[in-house]
Structures are given as structure tokens and as C-alpha cells.
Amino acid sequence: MKKVTNPNYLQHTLNQPIHFIGRGLHTGKHVSMSLHPAAADTGYVFRRTDLAPPYNVVPARWMTVTETRMSTTVGNNHGVSITTVEHLIAALFACGVDNCQIDIDGPEAPIMDGSAKPFVDQIVATGLQQQEKPRMALVMKEALWVNDGNAKAGIVPFPEPWMDMTIDFQSRAIGRQNIAMQLNQENFSECISAARTFGFAEHVETMKTLGLAQGGSMRNAVVVENDMVANPEGLRFDNEFVRHKVVDAVGDLALLGVNIVGCFVGHCSGHRLNNQLLRTLMYKEDKWALTTLEDAIVNWDSIMEDDKRQGWQSEF
């Protein structure tokens, strides 16, 4: 393999550990969480410091997702789990942190202000260190879709990582919103990371009965009540809701463990469908090619051409 020189194509980890304290959105538990540098090819690995080793380790990957109701939970075979990982993972991925060990003394990542921005700000302030191994990428050669009623999620061939998200809520406070953008650190930091999670006042009682949203408040979520935004400070963006759905999708898709060179298209998709898309993708090997991120971006045309030639040959 030839030596990669462009830092965008190499793996990175954090320069220094970063510490966060906060409360879980769903469990309401106060937690202390530290992000640590990790070796190349580690990916994102949680370690529950309130539990004894060796069963307290949980890699955050598409196949370790155990629950997708209201948030994304990862767990291991010993019943150890961490919930609401998606905003943290989105921030790590979008800021270019490929490898990170996450120590946490409770069952849920802190919700902070409901967005990915507090994580992004600290990661950017701390800085990254370059590692020797190349970043890998899955190049989408043919579209793949999964759906659930009106909700739909897919990845279609595109020469760089893109997101195209649409939501459609009956509530007049939200309605139909769409955002399409290149997925890179600058766009994520400036346009996406500050968008907060949201919920409906009429669902709060049911969620609390189900043990969810125990730590939820207008300090860490946008609350929609009677077709109005109840938060006195209002919204951070006119279309904050769809922007937050991009945070969620970036975090959910980062659990693939490699970059995706293609356009993610989500229509009312959430954590469950996002994870189902990755699980389906893994069984459809004819729809993608795995290569280095550099090869995927620089030689995208020829990767797609190779596929067409193969298709042409198989017809005759």
C-alpha cells in the first residue's frame, strides 16, 4: 500500500483526554465521562468504570446496537450497556476522531445541552493527533433502501460523503423540513452541531412512565407544545429539528466503523431505521466496495466504472 500523506486520509485520535460531567436524558443519572486517545483501528470503545472488568467494555458498532427507542444504545453479551451515544459519536466522527476510548461511570452519555456542540467545542479545543493507518471507506456502487411505513432511509452512489434529510411532522411547529449538505467537519460544526434534540409535551408523561426522559427539560431539549415551541429562548435555527436529525444520523451511521462515500437519504428516518440500514448494508456486499478513503475519493470514477464493466461482461 502506498504511503498516505494527506492528513484527511489518515486516522486520528485525541491529543489529550477530555472530561465531561452531566446528566442522562433518559435515565436522569448524573455521570462523569472521559474521552481518551486510543490506538489506530480501535474505533469507539466504551468502558463502564462503575462496573468491574473484564465485562465492562462495549465497542460502539452497528452490531452492538441493542435498543433504538428514542435513542441509540450499545451493549455487550453480559448485559452491560450505554444509552444515548449518538450525539457524542456524531461529534467524534464529524471532528475526525477515528479512535477513542470513552470511560463512563453510568449507563447513559450526558445529554449536555441536547446538542453535539459541547462535545465538538471540547474536541476542537483539545486537538487531534495523526496516526499511521489510513482511513477506510465504503464506496456505494448501487443504491440501497430500507423502509418502515412512510419512513425511508438509503444510501445512493455519490463521489463524496453527503447527507439529505427530510422530516415531516403534523405539528405546525415543525412541519416538513429538508436539509442537504456535504458531510464535513466545517459543515457539521457550523450548521448542525448546535441543533438540539426535541420532544412533544404531550408525550412527556407517557415517556416518563416508560422510564424515558427522566432527565429531560427545556435546558437540554426543544419542547413542542400545542404546535408551538415552549422554550422561552426559542429555536437556534428555523429548521433546528431537521438539523438535529442529521446529528442523530451522523452518529448512527458512524457506527459502521468506516467512512461512507455516498449520499445518505433519510425521509422521517430515526435510530431504528438508521441501524437497520447498516445491518442490511453489511449483507449486500454487491452494492459497495471497501477501500481506503483516499482511493474512494481520488479514484471514485474508476471504482464506479469497474463496476459497470463487470456488469457489462456478465451480460454477455
Interacting residue ranges for Zn ion, rule: CB under 5 A? 197, 248
Closest residue by Cα to residue 137 from 5, 261, 279, 278 = 261
What are 104's three cell numbers?
463512563
24, 86 in Cβ contact below 8 A? no
The residues, ordered by sequence, that sit 6+ positions from 283 with a Cβ below 8 Å of its Cβ are none
What are 30's three cell numbers?
448524573
Asked whether the CA dihedral 267, 270, 272, 278 is positive or negative, the reply is positive
Q: Residue 197 CB, nearest distance to Zn ion (Å)?
A: 4
Q: Residue 273 CB, nearest distance to Zn ion (Å)?
A: 14
Residue closer to Zn ion, measured from CB, 13 or 193: 193
In the residue annotation, 36 being an active-site residue is answered as no
Closest residue by Cα to residue 222 from 201, 191, 252, 248 = 201
Q: Residue 90 CB, nearest distance to Zn ion (Å)?
A: 8
Residue closer to Zn ion, measured from CB, 248 or 307: 248
Which one-letter amino acid corresponds to residue 135? R
Q: Residue 314 CB, nearest distance to Zn ion (Å)?
A: 43
From 87, 244, 267, 271, the catalytic residue:
271
Length of the chain: 316
Helix (H, G, I), strand (E, B) or coil at 252: helix
Q: Residue 84 CB, nearest distance to Zn ion (Å)?
A: 8
State the Cα–Cα distance between residues 72 and 85, nearest whole angstrom.
6
Residue closer to Zn ion, measured from CB, 248 or 295: 248
The residues, ordered by sequence, that sit 6+ positions from 269 with a Cβ below 8 Å of its Cβ are 151, 152, 153, 165, 245, 249, 277
Residue closer to Zn ion, measured from CB, 28 or 159: 28
Residue closer to Zn ion, measured from CB, 104 or 303: 104
Active site residues: 271
